[in-house]
């Protein structure tokens, strides 16, 4: 009788899976050493003998012994329990994508590994999927049949968030954040191919994308034992969820992005990538960069390091060190191009290091024949010192980088760009050889010319993907940062005249117009009394806008960032004009000496 009851309990699941289907349970785990082994055993015991299944436990860069506990759990049945390792914690969204990439099932269950949600309701999810012909079934704490032990703080936040989501996106669900969701593979694949959010609003974006496509979403009751935990209700997390939610609204309702986004086809083969790193010598930053490359999930690559002189590097990578002498970065990178064996050349700065999925996210776009290059954001490392963090915040400020903010913060949709820095740029080797590599008479700015050659001369696209992230150490405020800004502005002003196709843009001119207005406004305000108040009002408005845009919960960081924004505008505006009026750049005739130009490593 018991076996007969169990068979009836899982009847809908068997109908959904059909003759050849399988359920893949993906459980992302971070710092769950004490419970993960027991929780995997509970899910395994529930499913074993009932339906075809596999359990993929994703260790999301845990610093404790969670990985060892997952390995012990897998020993019970190595065919059905498979560990997936993410070497650096990158958020729930990334962990689930990694688990999905390793899965084989026709149906996918996303299940929080702490098992606050009882897996006993899995069969109910299949009942609802079958009865309502749904492609997605999500657990809902607000379902009338749910049994939940949930603190009032979380109930209040959940209710407010549901209201906001319904008003903004019109999703026909009452709960998006509960960590138990059942998908058909088609529905989840469609969503994962198009999603951009990496952290807390991940669930909302997945559901929004699927709903936009027309996949039916249904809700199921859950059994939750949340206990006394409050969860991740920090101001930082709430703020990020709010920003991501508004971004999803904008992409869904305004841009219609998810319907039109381009998804690359599967590559016919896995291309070899040559990672080229130009540097003066060995450094702590270079060691950090190589350590991050060791953690790449895409493993078919070689590394070429180009220092001034021979150096010894301790790494497990396939590595070649090619001394170049004291030459410019462009000349070093050209040496790397000549030495490269890969179909794709990936350029990294030695003071930058990539996330584990950097190459995996970038390489896929080369399945398009018209794609010549791929780039991604160069974000400020979270462990950079205070003044370097402030420098990163200045670059990320909307009133400093404007439409080019995506270079420093990975919050823009996938798109084509015409200018991208070499700290995170991948290019087809055949295209580089055809162009002749980098121009060696400019520094900085050589990457601007290279990108112009790719886009304008060769009519190829450069794709920007916000998931192809590297962390790029910043120069600290004030002097090192402003010296770098001065060099960039000087060359951009000159390039606006020499290479207007990609450098003559109004956003590059605005700081110079600001400086001209502030300088010329002084004598007019002194001589003409009616203009004094106008001049003072405009100046005060500028200071107020930049002050508000520099907001931080840390008053010291807020103030330093604001001063950095204003100083950046002034320096950039002056030097851009100087470059615009210059016949030639000093680097076109002077010998290169990087000892005074590179930051201390």
User: Rounded to the nearest 10 degrees, what angle do helices 529-549 and 555-581 cross at?
Assistant: 120
User: Is residue 441 domain-resident?
Assistant: yes
Give yes or no: residues 110 and 172 share one domain: yes
d(CA 155, CA 141): 9
Residue 472 lies in a domain: yes
% residues pLDDT > 70 (the chain): 93
* pLDDT score recorded for residue 117: 87
CATH number (domain holding residue 442): 3.90.550.10
Query: Are residues 294 and 217 part of one domain?
Result: no
Residue-range definition of the domain harbouring residue 555? 506-596
Confirm if 379 and 410 have CB atoms less than 8 A apart: yes
Tokens of 467: 């998931």
Note whether 456 and 537 are same-domain residues: no
- What band does 400 get if pLDDT is binned at 50, 70 and 90? very high
pLDDT for the residue 161: 79
Q: Which of 35, 56, 55 is nearest to 44 (CA)?
A: 55
**Helix, strand, coil distribution of the chain in percent, nearest 5:** 50, 15, 35
Q: How confident is the model at residue 5 (pLDDT cuts 50, 70, 90)?
A: low
Same domain, 244 and 358: no
Q: Strand 371-375 and strand 424-428: pairing?
A: antiparallel
Inside any domain, residue 266: no
Identify the helix (H) or strand (E) that includes residue 212.
Answer: helix 202-213
pLDDT tens for 325-366 read 999 899 999 999 999 999 999 999 999 999 988 999 999 999
Does residue 485 belong to any structural domain of this protein? no
CA distance 563 to 547: 8
Confidence of residue 243 (pLDDT cuts 50, 70, 90): confident
For residues 487 and 444, the answer to whether their CB atoms sit within 8 Å is: yes
**Residues 182 and 311 both lie in one domain:** no
- Mean pLDDT score, 304-327: 93
Domain boundary among 237, 259, 281: 259
Q: Note whether residue 495 is domain-resident.
A: no
pLDDT confidence bin for 86, thresholds 50/70/90: confident
pLDDT level of residue 258 (50, 70, 90 thresholds): confident
pLDDT value at residue 600: 35
Higher-pLDDT residue of 17, 583: 17
CB within 8 A of 546, min separation 6: which ones? Answer: 397, 399, 562, 565, 566, 569
Q: Is the pLDDT of residue 412 over 80?
A: no
In a domain, 279, yes or no: yes
Within this chain, do residues 235 and 287 fall inside the same structural domain, yes or no? no
Residue carrying the six token digits 């995170």? 424
Q: Which residue has the higher pLDDT, 151 or 559?
A: 559
Q: What is the CA radius of gyration of the chain?
A: 27
pLDDT recorded at residue 507: 87
Q: List Cβ<8 Å contacts ≥24 apart for 579-583.
A: 579/489, 579/490, 579/491, 579/492, 579/493, 579/494, 579/495, 579/496, 580/493, 580/494, 580/496, 580/497, 580/512, 581/493, 582/490, 582/493, 582/494
Q: Are residues 361 and 250 in the same domain?
A: no
Q: Mapping DSSP to helix (H, G, I), strand (E, B) and coil, where does residue 205 land?
A: helix
What contacts 314, CB < 8 A, 6 or more positions away? 287
Burial class of residue 479 (count of CB atoms within 10 Å of its CB; 0-12, 13-18, 19+): exposed
Please report where in the chains the tokens 């009788």 appear, as a residue.
1
pLDDT of residue 570: 96
Give yes or no: residues 16 and 80 share one domain: yes
Q: Which residues pair with 373 in a beta bridge?
A: 427, 462
Same domain? For 103 and 200 the reply is yes
Residues in Cβ contact with 592 at an 8 Å cutoff, skipping those fewer than 6 apart? 326, 327, 328, 443
- Give 279's contacts (C-beta < 8 A, 6+ positions apart): 286, 305, 306, 307, 332, 350
Of residues 97 and 131, more confidently modeled: 131
Question: What is the C-alpha separation between 138 and 173, in angstroms, rounded?
Answer: 9
3-state secondary structure 9-20: HCHHHHHHHCCC
pTM summary value: 0.83
Residue 255: band (very low, low, confident or very high) from pLDDT cuts 50, 70, 90 = confident
494 domain residue, yes or no:
no
Output the pLDDT for position 210: 92
* Residues 42 and 148 both lie in one domain: yes
For residues 539 and 460, membership in a common domain is answered with: no
Based on the number of CB atoms within 10 Å of its own CB, is 446 exposed (0-12), middle (13-18) or buried (19 or more)?
buried
- DSSP, res 589: T
**What angle, 0 to 180 degrees and rounded to 10, lies between the N-to-C axes of helices 92-102 and 202-213?**
60
Q: How many domains does the chain have?
A: 3
The whole-number pLDDT of residue 599 equals 40
Q: How confident is the model at residue 601 (pLDDT cuts 50, 70, 90)?
A: very low
Take residue 440 and report the two structure tokens written for it: 């060696």
The residue out of 202, 226, 259 marking a domain boundary is 259
Q: Which two tokens stand for residue 520?
A: 């010329």
Backbone φ and ψ of 23, nearest 5°: -95, 125
DSSP string, 237-304: HHHHHHHHHHHHHIIIIIS-HHHH---PPPPSS---EEEEEE-SS--HHHHHHHHHHHT-S---EEEE
Highest mean pLDDT among 152-161, 173-182, 415-424, 542-551: 542-551
pLDDT for residue 295 is more than 80: yes
CA–CA gap between residue 56 and residue 110 (Å, rounded): 10
Distance between CA atoms of residues 301 and 303, nearest Å? 7
User: Largest Cα–Cα distance of the chain, in whole Å?
Assistant: 100
CB 577 within 8 A of CB 512: yes
| Mean pLDDT score, 410-432 | 90
- pLDDT tens sequence across 468-526: 999 999 999 999 999 999 999 998 998 888 888 888 888 889 999 999 998 988 887 78
pLDDT digits (tens, 9 = 90+) for 139-157: 988 888 888 876 666 777 7
- Integer Cα distance of 322 and 594 in angstroms: 18
HEC sequence for 16-79: HHCCCCCEEEEEEECCCCCCHHHHHHHHHHHHCCCCCEEEEEEEECCCCCHHHHHHHHHCCCCC
Same domain, 251 and 396: no
> Does a structural domain hold residue 487?
no
Minimal CA–CA distance to 195: which of 145, 132, 263?
Answer: 263
Which pair of tokens denotes residue 21?
A: 């289907």
Residue 2 confidence (pLDDT) above 50: no
Tokens of 96: 């689930």
Model confidence at 531, in pLDDT bands (50, 70, 90)? confident
What is the three-state SS of 524-562? HHHHCHHHHHHHHHHHHHHHHHHHHHCCCCCHHHHHHHH
Task: For residue 130, give both structure tokens.
Answer: 């079958």
Mean pLDDT of 368-372: 95
Q: Which of 259, 289, 318 is the last residue of a domain?
A: 259
Q: What pLDDT is attached to residue 233?
A: 55
Residues 6+ apart with CB under 8 A from 575: 485, 486, 487, 489, 490, 493
Q: Who has greater pLDDT, 79 or 90?
A: 79
How does pLDDT run across 572-581, given as a tens digit for each residue? 999 999 999 8
Q: Nearest to residue 80, comparing CAs of 127, 24, 137, 36?
A: 24
- Beta-strand runs (E) in 316-449: 319-321, 344-349, 352-354, 371-375, 378-379, 415-417, 424-428
């Amino acid at each position: 009788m018991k076996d007969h009851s169990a068979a009836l309990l899982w009847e809908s699941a068997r109908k959904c899976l059909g003759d050849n289907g399988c359920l893949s349970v993906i459980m992302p785990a971070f710092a769950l050493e004490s419970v993960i082994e027991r929780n995997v055993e509970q899910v395994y015991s529930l499913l074993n003998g009932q339906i075809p299944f596999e359990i993929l436990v994703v260790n999301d860069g845990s610093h404790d012994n969670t990985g060892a506990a997952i390995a012990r759990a897998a020993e019970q049945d190595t065919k059905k329990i498979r560990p997936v390792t993410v070497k650096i914690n990158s958020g729930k969204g990334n962990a689930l994508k990694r688990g999905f990439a390793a899965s084989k099932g026709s149906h996918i269950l996303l299940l929080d590994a702490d098992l606050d949600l009882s897996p006993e309701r899995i069969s109910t999810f299949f009942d609802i999927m079958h009865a309502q012909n749904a492609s997605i079934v999500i657990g809902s704490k607000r379902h009338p049949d749910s049994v939940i032990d949930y603190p009032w703080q979380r109930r209040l936040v959940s209710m407010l968030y549901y209201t906001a989501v319904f008003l903004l996106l019109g999703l026909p669900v009452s709960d998006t954040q509960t960590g138990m969701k059942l998908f058909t593979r088609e529905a989840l694949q469609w969503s994962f191919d198009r999603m951009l959010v990496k952290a807390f609003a991940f669930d909302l974006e997945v559901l929004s994308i699927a709903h936009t496509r027309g996949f039916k979403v249904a809700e199921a009751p859950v059994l939750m034992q949340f206990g006394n935990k409050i969860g991740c209700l920090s101001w930082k997390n709430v703020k990020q969820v709010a920003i991501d939610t508004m971004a999803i609204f904008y992409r869904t309702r305004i841009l219609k992005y998810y319907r039109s986004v381009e998804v690359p086809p599967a590559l016919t083969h896995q291309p070899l990538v040559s990672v080229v790193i130009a540097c003066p010598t060995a450094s702590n930053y270079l060691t950090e960069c190589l350590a991050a490359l060791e953690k790449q999930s895409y493993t078919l690559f070689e590394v070429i390091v180009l220092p001034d002189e021979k150096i010894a590097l301790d790494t497990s990578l396939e590595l070649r060190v090619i001394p170049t002498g004291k030459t410019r970065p462009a000349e070093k990178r050209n040496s790397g191009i000549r030495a490269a064996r890969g179909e794709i050349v990936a350029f990294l700065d030695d003071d930058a290091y990539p996330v584990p999925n950097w190459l995996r996210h970038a390489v896929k776009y080369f399945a398009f024949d018209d794609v010549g290059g791929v780039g991604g954001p160069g974000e400020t490392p979270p462990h950079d010192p205070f003044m370097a963090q402030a420098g990163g915040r200045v670059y990320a400020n909307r009133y400093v980088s404007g439409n080019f903010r995506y270079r420093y913060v990975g919050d823009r949709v996938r798109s084509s760009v015409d200018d991208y820095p070499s700290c995170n740029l991948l290019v087809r080797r055949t295209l580089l050889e055809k162009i002749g590599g980098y121009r060696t008479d400019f520094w900085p700015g050589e990457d601007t010319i290279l990108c112009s050659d790719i886009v304008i001369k060769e009519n190829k696209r450069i794709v920007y993907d916000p998931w192809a992230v590297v962390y790029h150490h910043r120069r600290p405020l004030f002097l090192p940062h402003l010296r770098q800004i001065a060099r960039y502005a000087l060359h951009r002003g000159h390039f606006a005249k020499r290479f207007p196709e990609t450098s003559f843009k109004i956003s590059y001119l605005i700081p110079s117009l600001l400086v001209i207005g502030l300088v010329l406004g002084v004598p007019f305000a002194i001589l003409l009394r009616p203009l004094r108040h106008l001049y003072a009002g405009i100046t005060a408005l500028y200071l107020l806008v930049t002050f508000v845009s520099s907001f931080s919960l840390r008053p010291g960081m807020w103030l330093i960032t604001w001063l950095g924004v204003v100083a950046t505008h002034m320096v950039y505006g002056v030097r851009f004009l100087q470059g615009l009026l210059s016949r030639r750049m000093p680097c076109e005739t002077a010998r290169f000496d990087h000892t005074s130009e590179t930051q201390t490593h």
